[in-house]
């Protein structure tokens, strides 16, 4: 996963992230800010994690995006899915249905797309 994310983040941004981490700010705070303030970064983050051989990485990335964009309660209201079910669905061992995945992505402003290799 780190390799995939490194490919979407330049050296300058990595240096800034390291400086923030050294200043005592948790990694999630910086990640949330980047995800919340830059839809293109969010799209690249999700796509990079989707390319990982471990499908759980994408689900954890989706959880990161949900947290950054208002949390599970907000996503639950937007998707009409139970909050506890959402937590289980996008856990590392989750197994979302296509309809629940589409619903979550739609609520976050994204959609699934198939493209040729």
Residue with tokens 């506890």: 84
The answer to whether residue 34 sits within a structural domain is yes
Q: What is the pLDDT of residue 75?
A: 93
Q: What is the pLDDT of residue 94?
A: 84
**9-18, 23-32, 79-88: the lowest-pLDDT one:** 9-18
Instruction: Provide the number of structural domains found in the chain.
Output: 1
Closest by alpha carbon to 41, among 50, 52, 33?
33
| Domain residue limits at 57 | 2-107
Alpha helices in the chain (DSSP H): 2-8, 11-22, 27-37, 39-50, 55-68, 71-79, 83-89, 98-107
Identify the sign of the CA torsion 67, 86, 103, 95: positive
Whether residue 20 is predicted with pLDDT greater than 70 in this model: the reply is no
The answer to whether residue 11 sits within a structural domain is yes
The answer to whether residue 114 sits within a structural domain is no
Q: What is the pLDDT of residue 114?
A: 86
User: In the chain, pLDDT over 70 holds for what percent of residues?
Assistant: 80
The answer to whether residue 55 sits within a structural domain is yes
Q: What is the pLDDT of residue 26?
A: 84
Query: Measured between alpha carbons, how far apart are the two ends of the chain, in Å?
Result: 20
Query: Which tens digits make up the pLDDT trace of 26-57?
Result: 888 889 999 999 999 999 999 999 999 998 89
């Amino acid at each position: 996963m780190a390799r995939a994310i490194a490919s979407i983040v330049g050296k300058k941004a990595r240096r800034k992230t390291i400086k923030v981490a050294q200043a005592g700010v948790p990694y999630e705070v910086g990640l949330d800010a980047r995800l919340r303030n830059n839809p293109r970064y969010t799209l690249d983050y999700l796509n990079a994690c989707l390319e990982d051989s471990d499908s759980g990485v994408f689900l954890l990335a989706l959880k990161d995006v949900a947290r950054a964009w208002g949390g599970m309660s907000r996503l639950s209201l937007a998707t009409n899915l139970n909050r506890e079910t959402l937590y289980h669905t996008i856990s590392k061992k989750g197994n979302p249905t296509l309809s629940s995945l589409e619903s979550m992505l739609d609520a976050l402003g994204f959609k699934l797309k198939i493209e040729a290799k």
